Amino acid sequence: MKVMIRGNESIAYAFKLARVQVVPAYPITPSTLVPEKISELIANGEMKAEFVPVESEHSAMSAAIGASAKGVRVGTATASQGLALMHEVLFIASGMRLPIVMGIGNRALSAPINIWCDHQDMMSQRDTGWMQFYAESNQEGLDLGIMAFKIAEDERVLLPAMVGIDAFVLTHTVEPVELPEQKDVDDFLGEFVPHYVTLDPQNPATLGSFGFPEHFMEFKYGQWIAMERAKKVIDEVFEEFEERFGRKYMKVYPEFVEDAEIILVTMGSMTSTTREFVRRLREQGKKVGLVKLTVFRPFPKEELREILKNAKVVAVVERNISFGFGGAVYAELSSTFSRMKEKPKIVDFIVGLGGRDITFNTLNSVVEIAEKAMHEEVDEVNWIDVNKEAVLKAEGLL
Amino acid sequence: MEVITRGAVIPEPGNSVENKTGTWRVFKPIIHYEKCIRCLICWQFCPEPAILLYEDEETKKKTPAPKEPLKRLPVVEIDYDYCKGCGICYNECPVNAIEFVKEEK
Amino acid sequence: MNYEKEEFFAPGHGLCAGCAAPIIVRWILKLAGPNTIVTNATGCLEVATTAYPRTSWRVPWIHVAFENAAAVASGIDAALKAKGEKVNIIAFGGDGGTVDIGMQALSGMVERGHNVLYVLYDNEAYMNTGIQRSGATPWGAWTTTSKVGSANPIGKLRPKKPIAKIIAAHDAPYVATANPAFFNDFKKKVKKALSIEGPKFLHVLSSCTTGWRHDPSKTIEILRLATETGLFPLYEIENGDFENMRITYKPKKFKPVEEYLKPQGRFRHLFKNPEYIKKLQKDVDEWWAKYGKYYRP
């Protein structure tokens, strides 16, 4: 069934179709509509779940852990400061191997306070042991939301997952979305069976024990193994999803890359703009390609090496910044190629922070520098569409 | 139980009994049954718990008591495998039936 | 079913000799029985009872972090509702995890009406990290962050946060203070709390031999003195009805506060100045002058 819905509703419908049993959530722009929609679906009798209107995001994730440990399917949603407030408990959810799924309305972090899109919130959580998916559209938000449960709950994985949808660009924008039938999603996900030890009075177990140095590393190694195994599980789930629902997903989605000299790497909604931009460059005969990174954790090193190895320049276009180094995707991609003899020149482009539009002009600036990089040295990290003069004045440099 | 479980779960309830905390003891409580009125206050307040309750007729009867009818009541025994020697039982015993002596190692 | 003769809390734990917390926990579990899930805030109780691969718990138990035992309990409650199961949920938190860092989560849990018994075992400082002052540390107590010296001869300069009253002000169905030394009163309150649907809060005084600096054998004796001197009154408040608050025990003859303070090293410095003892005695006398009328045995 085709419906016109906002990105937040994609997440809410993914939860409904996955028959999520407990949703603890706290409102925050731009993801507030997720708990609102869940509350509405429950009030209308369209969804059977316990909604827990907690008093903070920290408690949202804590309640999610409690519920998941009791052995039910749990979903929640947040963004930005809310996700940052959860930071402590995110490590605990993954360390306890609980397959919680969380929608994120990707938004900038303060200061200054800003409610618009960038990927700083999720990127700042990359080491928490959660899988990370980034959606390009509301359709992808819904599909990845459903698939995230299947991947997270797989016996080989048992790790929590977050699905990012860009603030406002997706969260608040109405798009046509193909809503799968409940029966088809039921068949795809199967009935929820926790493949982990739960809080059960019939089999009393201790969860969240105290780990000493003699065991701690083994638990972390287990998480490492699980994240590595998730790579294959993600592929399997993506394939099965395509067979059942006809929509194709790949951890790394390449377009126009075969003979490309310059390849742009993007994530989230900026991919749509970039695709059209690249298509036009192709019409002009320019050998430019596009790679969409749908999965950031586990980082798809193998696929990226294969797809990008023949490019002359890889332009990482990203909406986050790790001060003191560069963008997070740039850092990881550079490491990915560190052992390869033949490798493309990787250049970083910081764009679209705090909701600044990413336009053809933005991408023109990116490609201009990338073309230059083919035959001369350019800066490693390039800030695009920034009033540098004003900043230099403010910093006392001009 | 395997050496490592997923998520550091401990699936064996109460397996801390493998830790014999009796080795901590510096002072040792000793029950003098001929004074013990079987009030169970020591059992009630033992923090380990290292004071065991026996309700079977055999133990109740064979254990000495100041008065014969008391042998109808449950009786306690100190489990020195776990007793850390805090002395709460000695301090709380209403009839001074518990002696607290330096542990001999 | 009566489970008082069964033990759901196993020996072999690493809590200090003479610690009151396991006495409280042991008995609450006996009174709740095996159909119980426990959530535990970070603290001595959690650390000393679940050192992997060994646990002292014979009921399902979960620890997540310091400030969120009440939020974890809320999630378990929601999951039980979703599954249509009836199980007791008991949250244990120390004073730091309850009156300080866990206050917000606890307030939220009570406001939302989750069916949880929250038990604060209050040893009046951050004992697990080494005796730092908390919001529950009483006036005049020495701790490692309310030190006593020439410029501050008193120690902690603020009184205890009135946590039971704060939770009662949420109109919680049942709030009570309890003391294991008053064993029958304590048991009665635990049973009553477990019989009530909704959020219940028990504030139980729990001595710490290390932090209070007393002989381990004196644990129950000192706890008894806390109430016999009137310093730790035992009462219950139902549905936020302060007018019908019920003091459940009143000493026939109050003991002077010195008797409680003397055996504890954390108050030793107060005896250098009789004014300090007088102040504490005055505080107690005033409390009883104001609230004594609520003694309803």
pLDDT tens per residue across span A105-122? 999 999 999 999 999 999
> If we measure between CA atoms, which residue out of C23, C173, C17 comes closest to residue C109?
C173
Instruction: Specify whether A205 is located in the same domain as A300.
Output: no
Rounded Cα gap, residues C29 and A286, in angstroms: 73
> If we measure between CA atoms, which residue out of A323, A322, A375, A330 comes closest to residue A349?
A330
User: Considering CB atoms only, which of B3, B19, B81 is closest to C54?
Assistant: B19
A70, A214, A219: best to mutate for the C interface, most C CBs within 10 A: A70
> If we measure between CA atoms, which residue out of C209, C193, C233 comes closest to residue C27?
C193
Q: What is the pLDDT averaged over residues B56-64?
A: 97
Q: What is the pLDDT averaged over residues C52-69?
A: 98
Query: Average pLDDT over chain C, rounded to whole?
Result: 98
- Region of A271 on the Ramachandran plot (φ > 0 left; ψ -120 to 50 alpha; else beta): alpha
Give the chain A residue nearest C102 (alpha carbons): A59
Q: What is the pLDDT averaged over residues C231-245?
A: 98
Instruction: Specify whether A47 is located in the same domain as A119.
Output: yes
Contact B20 C219 (CB under 8 A): no
The values of phi and psi at residue C171, to 5°, are 60, 35
* Structural domain harbouring C212: 21-294
Give the chain B residue nearest C20 (alpha carbons): B47
Domain-embedded: residue B18: no
pLDDT tens-digit map of A376-388: 999 999 999 999 9
Contact C13 B19 (CB under 8 A): yes
Rounded Cα gap, residues B12 and C225, in angstroms: 39
User: Considering CB atoms only, which of C14, C17, C53 is closest to B1?
Assistant: C53
Residue A1 has pLDDT above 80, yes or no: yes
Contact A196 B4 (CB under 8 A): no
Domain-embedded: residue B29: no
Which C-chain residues 32-91 have CB contacts (< 8 A) with chain A?
34-37, 39, 46-47, 50-53, 55, 57-65, 67-68, 70-76, 78-83, 87
Q: What percent of chain A has pLDDT over 90?
A: 100
Q: Is any Cβ of chain B less than 8 angstroms from the Cβ of C19?
A: yes
pLDDT tens-digit map of A51-107: 999 999 999 999 999 999 999 999 999 999 999 999 999 999 999 999 999 999 999
Residue B33, CB half-sphere, CA atoms under 13 Å: how many?
A: 16
Domain count, chain C: 1
Chains in contact with B, counting 3 or more C-beta pairs less than 8 Å apart as contact: A, C
The answer to whether A14 and A145 are in contact (CB under 8 A) is yes
- Give B74-77's long-range contacts (Cβ < 8 A, gap of 24+): B74/B38, B74/B40, B75/B33, B75/B36, B75/B38, B76/B31, B76/B36, B76/B38, B76/B40, B76/B42, B76/B43, B76/B51, B76/B52, B77/B31, B77/B51, B77/B52
Q: What percent of chain C has pLDDT over 70?
A: 100
Q: Tell me, what's the ipTM? A: 0.98
Domain-embedded: residue C250: yes
Domain-embedded: residue C125: yes
Query: Average pLDDT over chain A, rounded to whole?
Result: 98
B53, B88, B100: best to mutate for the C interface, most C CBs within 10 A: B88
DSSP 8-state assignment for residue B19: S
Q: What is the pLDDT averaged over residues A147-165?
A: 98
Instruction: Specify whether A140 is located in the same domain as A26.
Output: yes
Q: How far is it between the farthest Cα atoms of chain B?
A: 56
Enumerate the residues of chain B whose CB falls inside 8 A of the CB of residue C55: 10, 12-16
Map residue C12 onto helix, strand or coil: coil
With an 8 Å Cβ cutoff, the interface of chain A facing chain B consists of 95-98, 158, 196-197, 203-209, 211, 215, 218-219, 222
User: Considering CB atoms only, which of B8, B11, B13 is closest to A211?
Assistant: B8
Enumerate the residues of chain B whose CB falls inside 8 A of the CB of residue C28: none
With an 8 Å Cβ cutoff, the interface of chain A facing chain C consists of 21-22, 24, 49-50, 52-56, 58-60, 62-72, 74, 88-89, 92, 96, 198-201, 203-212, 215
CATH number of residue A157's parent domain: 3.40.50.970
- How many Cβ atoms sit within 10 Å of the Cβ of residue A199? 27
Strand order in the sheet with A381-383: A252-255, A288-293, A262-266, A313-318, A345-350, A381-383
Chains in contact with C, counting 3 or more C-beta pairs less than 8 Å apart as contact: A, B
Residue A282 to residues A262, A308, A366, A374, C80: CA-CA distances in angstroms? 11, 18, 16, 18, 57
pLDDT tier, C11 (very low <50, low <70, confident <90, very high otherwise): very high
- Token digits for A221? 């190694």
Map residue C34 onto helix, strand or coil: coil
Residues, chain C: 297
Instruction: Specify whether A300 is located in the same domain as A163.
Output: no
Contact A210 C107 (CB under 8 A): no
- Region of C2 on the Ramachandran plot (φ > 0 left; ψ -120 to 50 alpha; else beta): beta
Domain-embedded: residue B16: no
Give CA A321 to chain center in angstroms: 16
Residue B105 has pLDDT above 90, yes or no: no
User: Considering CB atoms only, which of C57, C78, C104 is closest to A206?
Assistant: C57
**Residue located via tokens 């986050």:** A320
Q: What percent of chain B has pLDDT over 90?
A: 96
The answer to whether C134 and C100 are in contact (CB under 8 A) is yes
H or E segment to which residue A128 belongs:
none
Residue A5 has pLDDT above 80, yes or no: yes
Chains in contact with A, counting 3 or more C-beta pairs less than 8 Å apart as contact: B, C
Rounded Cα gap, residues C223 and C181, in angstroms: 6
Domain-embedded: residue C4: no
B2, B6, B12: best to mutate for the A interface, most A CBs within 10 A: B6
User: Considering CB atoms only, which of C46, C75, C112 is closest to A66?
Assistant: C75
pLDDT tens-digit map of C143-168: 999 999 999 999 999 999 999 999 99
Enumerate the residues of chain A whose CB falls inside 8 A of the CB of residue C112: 52-54
> If we measure between CA atoms, which residue out of A381, A344, A97, A99 comes closest to residue A225?
A97
DSSP 8-state assignment for residue A314: E
* Structural domain harbouring A90: 2-245
* Structural domain harbouring B80: 47-105
pLDDT tens-digit map of A235-254: 999 999 999 999 999 999 99
The answer to whether A284 and A274 are in contact (CB under 8 A) is no
Q: Is any Cβ of chain C less than 8 angstroms from the Cβ of B60?
A: no
Which C-chain residues 180-219 have CB contacts (< 8 A) with chain B?
180, 183, 209, 215-219
pLDDT tens-digit map of A309-368: 999 999 999 999 999 999 999 999 999 999 999 899 999 999 999 999 999 999 999 999
The values of phi and psi at residue A388, to 5°, are -65, -35
- Token digits for A339? 């052992």
Tell me how close the Cα of A358 comes to any Cα of chain B, in angstroms.
42
Instruction: Specify whether A277 is located in the same domain as A386.
Output: yes
C174-178 and C234-237 strand pairing: antiparallel
Q: Where are the beta strands (DSSP E) in A87-141?
A: 101-106, 131-134
Domain count, chain A: 2
pLDDT confidence of residue C27: 98
Give CA A381 to chain center in angstroms: 22
**Residue located via tokens 């209070």:** C212
DSSP 8-state assignment for residue B10: B
Distance between first and last Cα of chain B: 33
A315 strand-pairing partners: A264, A347
pLDDT confidence of residue A283: 97
pLDDT confidence of residue C1: 87
Map residue A331 onto helix, strand or coil: helix
A382 strand-pairing partners: A349
C93 strand-pairing partners: C120
Burial track A111-145 (b if 16+ CB lie within 10 A, e otherwise): eeebbbbbbbbbbbbbebbbbbbbbbbbbbbbbbb
Map residue A312 onto helix, strand or coil: coil
pLDDT tens-digit map of C92-109: 999 999 999 999 999 999
Q: Is any Cβ of chain B less than 8 angstroms from the Cβ of C20?
A: yes
Give the chain B residue nearest A99 (alpha carbons): B7
pLDDT confidence of residue C297: 84
pLDDT tier, B1 (very low <50, low <70, confident <90, very high otherwise): confident
CATH number of residue C234's parent domain: 3.40.50.970
